[in-house]
């Protein structure tokens, strides 16, 4: 397995797609019931293979990821050759939690304070684009449309034309 097995909830949400996958494998409903009851290894193989297909399709489309913690925000842009990071860190403010509405509002009002650090970096992919994105997702990153990344990129790093 290249990625990770989908959760029960994800399988339930993707039930029609899983049925189509099984049909493409020559497995109808009766055979699937029999496989689940008599050949756990083969059932696991189908679940894992379908999960990898879903993850590969999701990761192919990922352009932006965000990861919030109490004191930091990491925003990633995935390009063809490398990923770019914009990170924001709040220092000396243990009462500020960026994962809350109040904490995020505090950041908006104090973005230029000395207690807020903003930095960026570029990084070549360690393995490949998909696996590096998946690793961030496993650590709590969320796929986004990139509005926050683009906002901070324009605010802090884009040069005036």
Mean confidence (pLDDT) of the chain: 93
Confidence of residue 156 (pLDDT cuts 50, 70, 90): confident
- Is the CA virtual torsion 7, 10, 16, 17 positive or negative? negative
Q: What residue segments make up the domains of the chain, in order of their start? A: 8-61, 64-157
pLDDT in tens, 39-58: 999 999 999 999 999 999 99
Q: What share of residues in the chain are helix, strand, coil (percent, to 5)?
A: 50, 20, 30
**Whole-number Å distance between alpha carbons of 116 and 141:** 21
| 72-78 contacts at long range (C-beta below 8 A, 24 or more positions apart) | 72/98, 73/98, 73/107, 73/148, 74/141, 75/148, 75/149, 75/152, 76/133, 76/136, 76/141, 76/149, 77/146, 77/149, 77/153, 78/129, 78/132, 78/133
Confidence of residue 160 (pLDDT cuts 50, 70, 90): low
């Amino acid at each position: 397995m290249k990625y990770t097995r989908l959760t029960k909830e994800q399988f339930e949400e993707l039930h029609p797609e899983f049925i189509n996958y099984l049909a493409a494998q020559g497995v109808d409903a009766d055979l699937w019931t029999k496989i689940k009851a008599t050949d756990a290894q083969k059932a696991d193989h189908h679940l894992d293979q379908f999960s990898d297909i879903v993850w590969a399709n999701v990761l192919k489309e990922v352009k932006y990821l965000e990861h919030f913690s109490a004191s930091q925000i990491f925003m990633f842009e995935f390009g063809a050759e490398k990923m770019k990071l914009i990170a924001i860190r709040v220092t000396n403010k243990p009462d500020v939690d960026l994962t809350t509405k109040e904490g995020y509002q505090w950041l908006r009002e104090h973005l230029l304070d000395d207690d807020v650090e903003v930095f960026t970096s570029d990084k070549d992919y360690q393995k490949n684009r998909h696996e590096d994105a998946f690793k961030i997702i496993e650590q709590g990153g969320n796929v986004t449309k990139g509005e926050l990344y683009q906002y901070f990129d324009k605010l802090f790093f884009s040069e005036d034309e």
